[in-house]
A and B are shown apart, each in its own frame.
Chain A
Amino acid sequence: MNPDVVVVGAGIIGAACAQALRARGLDVLVLDRHGPASGTSASGEGNVLVSDKGPGPELDLARASRELWPQLAGDAEWEEKGGLVVATTGDAAEPLTAFADGQRAAGVDARAITVDEALSLEPHLNPDITAAVHYPQDAQLNPVKATRNLLRGIPVRRAEVSTTDGRSVTTDDGVVSCGAVVNATGPWAGRFGVNVLPRRGVVLVTTPIPGAIRHKVYDADYVGAVASGDADLQTSGVVESTKAGTVLIGSSRQRKGFDEKIESKVLKALARRAIALFPMLAGVPVMRAYGGFRPYAPDHLPIIGEDPRTPGLWHATGHEGAGVGLAPATGLLLAQLLTGETPLVDPHPFRVDRQEVPV
Chain B
Amino acid sequence: MRVVVVGAGPAGMAAARTAADAGAEVTVVDSEPEAGGQYLRGRARLRHPGVTHLKNTEAWLVEDRTLHLRGPRQLPFDALVIATGAYDRPLPFPGWDGPGVITAGAAQTLAKQGVVLGRRVIVSGTGPFLLPVAAALQDLGATLVGVYEANSPAGWLREGKAVAANRHKITELARYRKVVRHLRTRTAVIAKHGDRVTVAKLDDQWRPVGHRTEHADLVCTGHGFLPRTDLVPEAERTHDFLNVDARQRTSVPGVYAAGEVTGIGGADLAEAEGVVAGAAAAGREPPRAALEAVRRGRLFAEALGRVHAVRPGWRTWLTRETTVCRCEQVQLADLGDATTMRELKLTSRVAMGRCQGRICARNAAELTGVPFDGQRRVVAVPIPLGELADLTEETS
Contact = CB atoms under 8 A, between A and B. Distances in A.
A105 interface: no
Given A144-B346, A286-B383, A34 B389 contact: no
Given A38-B343, A244-B349, A272-B389, A288 B378 contact: yes
A145 B346 contact: yes
A275 B342 contact: no
Nearest to B349: A244
Contacts of B339: 34-36, 158
A175 interface: no
Interface in B347-396: 347, 349, 352-354, 356, 377-379, 382-386, 388-389, 391, 393, 395
Task: Among B63, B379, B391, find the residue whose CB has the most chain A CB atoms closer than 10 A.
Answer: B379
A247 to B, nearest CB: 9
A133 interface: no
Nearest to A278: B385
Contact of B347 (A144, A249, A286): A144
B342 A38 contact: yes
A42 B339 CA distance: 13
Interface in B310-346: 328, 338-340, 342-343, 346
Interface stretch (A213-221, A258-266, A327-335): A258-266
Contacts of B349: 244
A287 B379 contact: yes
B281 to A, nearest CB: 23
Nearest to B74: A264
Binding site of A, secondary structure by majority: helix, strand, loop or mixed? mixed
B247 interface: no
A244 B350 CA distance: 12
Nearest to B355: A287
Contacts of B340: 34-35, 38
Contact of B391 (A37, A267, A274, A284): A267
B105 to A, nearest CB: 22
Given A264-B61, A288-B379, A289-B379, A271 B343 contact: no
B391 A264 contact: yes
Given A158-B339, A288-B356, A289-B378, A264 B386 contact: no
Binding site of B, secondary structure by majority: helix, strand, loop or mixed? loop
Interface in A137-169: 142-145, 148, 158
Contact of A286 (B343, B346, B379): B379
A206 B349 CA distance: 15
Contacts of A144: 342-343, 346-347
A154 to B, nearest CB: 14
Interface residues of B, number: 30
B120 interface: no
Contacts of B342: 37-38, 42, 144
Contacts of A207: 354, 382
B17 interface: no
Given A264-B61, A289-B378, A274 B343 contact: no
A90 interface: no
Contacts of A246: 352
Contact of B378 (A268, A284, A290): A290
Nearest to A75: B347
Contacts of B395: 264
A119 interface: no
Interface string A191-230: 0000000000000101100000000000000000000000
Contacts of B389: 268, 271-272, 275, 282
B354 A287 contact: yes
Nearest to A263: B63
A123 interface: no
Contacts of A38: 340, 342-343
A265 B393 contact: yes
A285 B382 contact: yes
B350 to A, nearest CB: 12
A204 B343 CA distance: 19
A271 B386 contact: yes
B127 to A, nearest CB: 30
B68 interface: yes
A270 B382 CA distance: 16
A246 B385 CA distance: 13
A142 B349 CA distance: 11
Given A36-B339, A287-B356, A282 B385 contact: yes
A267 B389 CA distance: 8
A272 B387 CA distance: 10
Contacts of A291: 378
A284 B339 CA distance: 33
A289 B381 CA distance: 11
A26 interface: no
9 contacts: A142-B347, A144-B343, A206-B385, A207-B382, A264-B395, A267-B379, A275-B386, A282-B384, A290-B378
Given A282-B389, A284-B384, A286-B388, 10 more contacts: A34-B339, A35-B340, A36-B343, A143-B346, A148-B343, A272-B389, A275-B389, A285-B385, A288-B378, A289-B379
